[in-house]
Structure formats: C-alpha cells, structure tokens
C-alpha cells in the first residue's frame, strides 16, 4: 500500500486517520482533487497548493501520475481525478475531473503513470487503461483505452512509469515488463517486439508482457529507469543512468539488471533519482540532486552542465537518515515518512507542502529545501 505518492509536481499522503491530503505546484488539470484552485496562482492562471488540503476519508492507498491521481478506499472502491485526455481516469470519457470519481470496485492496488493507469483487483487480475503510445498498456494492439482492459492474471504488484513502461510482479515472484525500451528500461537487453519513431530516432517497444527475472519482491519505475528488490534483499537496477540514478558509480545506461545494494526492504524511483530503505531503517539515496531532492545538501560526487551551469548528481548511494519506513520521490522533490509517523520533505519548495519554506536556491533561481525538513501538523499512517 502507498501511504505517500509523489508525481512531477504534486503529492498525496494518507494520515493516521486514513484521510488523504494533497498539495503541489500544479493543479492545472484538477490533479489535487479539491475542485480546482489553490492557495497560490501563477500569471498564466494555473493554481498551486503549498500546504496540504484534505481530499478523502477512509483511504488505504494513493498513487499520483503525471497529472492525475488515484485512491483506493477501505471498501475496495477506486476513485480517480485529474487529467483525462488519454482516458487515464478509466471512466469511459476524455474529460478532466477536478473532484474524485468512482471508477471500480474490488481493487487492492493501483499505480498511475504518465497518462495511464494500472490496477489489481481482489481476484489477482491486472487491468489497465489510458495512453498506449509505447505499448505500456500491454494489450498487444495499438490505441488508447478509456475503459479498463484485462492484461494479466495472478498479479501481486504493479508499477507504472513517468514515461511509458510498466512492470508487474506475479504471485510466483516473476517480474514482467512492457512498454517503451529506448534506454533499456525493460531490462531485457533493449529488445522489443515492435518499434516506434521518437525525437531520438527509431526505438524498441514491447506491447505485450515479457518475463525479466524470478524471485522479485518489489519493483519501482522512474522516468526511464527501473529498480527491483529480490526476495533475498538484493537491489537490482537498469535503464537510463544520465544522472547516476542506477547507483552503480557510473553514468552509463544498462539494458540488463545490475546489483547495487544488499539488505534492502523497499525501493522507490523518482523521475531521475532513487531511494532505498534498508532493513535497518536507514534511507539511502542517489541520482539527480539539481533541486536538492536527495536531502544531503546541494552536493554530489559528480557535476553536470546542461547549459545553465553545473548541478550535482550522486552516482553511488549515500545515507540520508535513520528510522525511515516509507519514501516517495517525485521529479524535483522527495517525501519521507519515519517510524514515528513524522513526515519529512526536501527538494523544490513549492512541491513540499511546507508553504514554500526553503534553505537555498538552485541554478535556475528556484527555492529549494536541501536538507529534510519536518512537515508540521501532519502525521502519516504507518503500513
């Protein structure tokens, strides 16, 4: 169950009373579920919400996509809201909704990606809908879907990406992946059963599930990288590595799984950074630190210049804090839950829910919090 979920600009968190709270730097498509608006507004007219706002009660899990959100209530009902241009809300339309809409019953897990959604029902069936440009729905045929389509049986967990790939672990521990594979993010050597043209040229995609490994216990997808924890606690990573998000000490892409850590209890991929909680409760992070999302100060063991000046990246895991139970990384920020239910935040300030408090600015002049800051007035439900 996801007690906290972050996307590119917005976050959802379930508190100790099973109430869902949301905040973020964008509410353009109603992704916060509060009917639109916020406590701040840009000249463009778009709203943002820098402090948590109450959305739903009796929530057990939440997932934030690019600009849509999903929540499962204690009765197993699935509720969705936000952008719907690709049918990612699964309600048969392409109209956005700024308030929660009930979509399905008997749901136990949900994951939202960039314009698409996946759920697992109580009978273990995996259903998907929304954008299918890269075969990420896994249905073996082109075209989006505005209604749920059955993809797999015997599914235990599922993860959607911030680009166009999907991963599912079956009840037997086998890991299956499909979708975009231009950076080796599927972990099968960069192969696919189809091809598509992108700005980078012709790239492979896989529009039906393919088996990647056995003995998988958990999986998480970033923008174009993948992390999997095996049943022995070992962490394996593959895909894009421009920002050091694979944690192997290099910035070289890998189309096959690479072992990074042992004794890992949980892993979560941000867009270009990665967080792992070890069995002793210690939190380790690596990858893009250009907006302070790693929480170790505005530092890294390497620097990247993308035309606006140097910013830090961390290509090997670094310990951030102890007594951590849950972590979720967005594109520019990270939300951390400790074992005492306290919530800690770092990264781009408008995404943190701390009313814009910051300790520094990045190379673009945006305010950021580079050391984890405790979020007052909100305590998270523990798993």
Reading phi first (left if > 0) and then psi (alpha if -120 to 50, else beta), residue 251 is in: alpha
What integer pLDDT is reported at residue 265 of this predicted model? 98
Closest CA to 342 of 329, 325, 355: 325
Beta bridge partners, 347, equal 333, 369
What integer pLDDT is reported at residue 383 of this predicted model? 79
Domains and CATH numbers, the chain: 4-379 (2.130.10.30)
Closest CA to 118 of 144, 126, 35: 126
Which residues lie below 8 Å from residue 98, measured CB to CB, with a gap of 6+?
27, 29, 30, 32, 33, 34, 35, 36, 81, 82
C-alpha to C-alpha distance for 68 and 292, rounded to whole angstroms: 25
Q: 160 with 111: CB under 8 angstroms? A: yes
Q: 324 with 277: CB under 8 angstroms? A: yes
CB-based burial label for 366 (10 Å; 0-12, 13-18, 19+): middle
Q: What is the 3-state secondary structure (H, E, C) of the chain?
A: CCCEEECCCEEEEEECCCCEEEEECCCCCCCCCCCCCCCEECCCCCEEEEEEEEEECCEEEEEECCCEEEEEECCCCEEEEECCCCCCCCCCCCCCEEEEEEEECCEEEEEECCCEEEEEECCCCEEEEECCCCCCCCCCCCCCEEEEEEEECCEEEEEECCCCEEEEEECCCCEEEEEECCCCCCCCCCCCCEEEEECCEEEEEEEEEEEEECCEEEEEECCCEEEEEECCCCEEEEECCCCCCCCCCCCCCEEEEEEEECCEEEEEECCCEEEEEECCCCEEEEEECCCCCCCCCCCCCEEEECCCCEEEEEEEEEEEECCEEEEEECCCEEEEEECCCEEEEEEEHHHCCCCCCCCEECCCCCEEEEEEEEEEEEEECCC
**pTM of the predicted model over 0.85:** yes
What integer pLDDT is reported at residue 268 of this predicted model? 98
C-alpha to C-alpha distance for 51 and 355, rounded to whole angstroms: 5
Beta bridge partners, 353, equal none
pLDDT tens digits, 12-51? 999 999 999 999 999 999 999 999 999 999 999 999 999 9
Percent of the chain with pLDDT over 90: 96
What integer pLDDT is reported at residue 69 of this predicted model? 98
Tens digit of pLDDT at every position of the chain (383 positions)? 899 999 999 999 999 999 999 999 999 999 999 999 999 999 999 999 999 999 999 999 999 999 999 999 999 999 999 999 999 999 999 999 999 999 999 999 999 999 999 999 999 999 999 999 999 999 999 999 999 999 999 999 999 999 999 999 999 999 999 999 999 999 999 999 999 988 878 999 999 999 999 999 999 999 999 999 999 999 999 999 999 999 999 999 999 999 999 999 999 999 999 999 999 999 999 999 999 999 999 999 999 987 778 999 999 999 999 999 999 999 999 999 999 999 999 999 999 999 999 999 998 899 999 999 999 999 999 97
What integer pLDDT is reported at residue 205 of this predicted model? 97
């Amino acid at each position: 169950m996801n007690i906290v979920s972050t996307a590119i600009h917005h976050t959802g968190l379930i508190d100790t009373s099973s109430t869902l709270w949301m905040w973020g730097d964008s509410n353009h498509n109603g992704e916060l579920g509060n009917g639109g608006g916020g406590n701040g507004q840009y000249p463009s007219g778009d709203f943002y919400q820098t402090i948590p706002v109450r959305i739903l009660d009796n929530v057990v899990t939440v997932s934030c996509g690019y600009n849509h959100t999903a929540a499962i209530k204690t009765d197993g009902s699935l509720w969705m809201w936000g952008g719907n241009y690709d049918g990612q809300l699964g309600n048969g339309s392409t109209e956005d909704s700024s308030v929660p809409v009930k979509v399905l019953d008997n749901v136990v897990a949900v994951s939202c990606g960039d314009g698409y959604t996946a759920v697992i029902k109580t009978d273990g069936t995996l259903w998907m809908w929304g954008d299918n440009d890269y075969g990420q729905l896994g249905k073996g045929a082109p075209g989006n879907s505005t209604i749920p389509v059955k993809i797999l049986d015997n599914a235990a967990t599922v993860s959607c990406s911030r680009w166009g790939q999907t991963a599912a672990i079956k009840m037997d521990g086998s890991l299956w992946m499909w979708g975009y594979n231009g950076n080796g993010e599927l972990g099968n050597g960069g192969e696919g059963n189809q091809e598509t043209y992108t700005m980078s040229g012709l790239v492979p995609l896989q529009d039906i599930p393919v088996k990647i490994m056995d003995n998988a216990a958990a999986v998480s997808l970033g923008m174009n990288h993948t992390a999997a924890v095996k049943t022995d606690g070992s962490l394996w990573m593959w895909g894009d590595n421009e920002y050091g998000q694979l944690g192997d000490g290099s910035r070289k892409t890998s189309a096959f799984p690479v072992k990074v850590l042992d004794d890992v209890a949980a892993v979560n991929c941000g867009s270009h950074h990665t967080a792992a909680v070890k069995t002793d409760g210690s939190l380790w992070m690596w990858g893009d630190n250009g907006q302070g999302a790693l929480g170790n100060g505005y530092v890294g063991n390497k620097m990247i210049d993308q035309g606006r000046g140097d910013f830090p990246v961390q290509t090997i895991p670094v310990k951030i804090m102890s007594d951590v139970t849950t972590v979720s990384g967005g594109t520019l920020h990270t939300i951390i839950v400790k074992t005492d239910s306290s919530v800690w935040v770092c990264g781009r300030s408008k995404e943190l829910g701390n009313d814009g408090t910051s300790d520094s600015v990045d190379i673009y002049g945006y305010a950021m919090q580079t050391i984890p800051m405790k979020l007052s007035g909100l305590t998270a439900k523990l798993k």
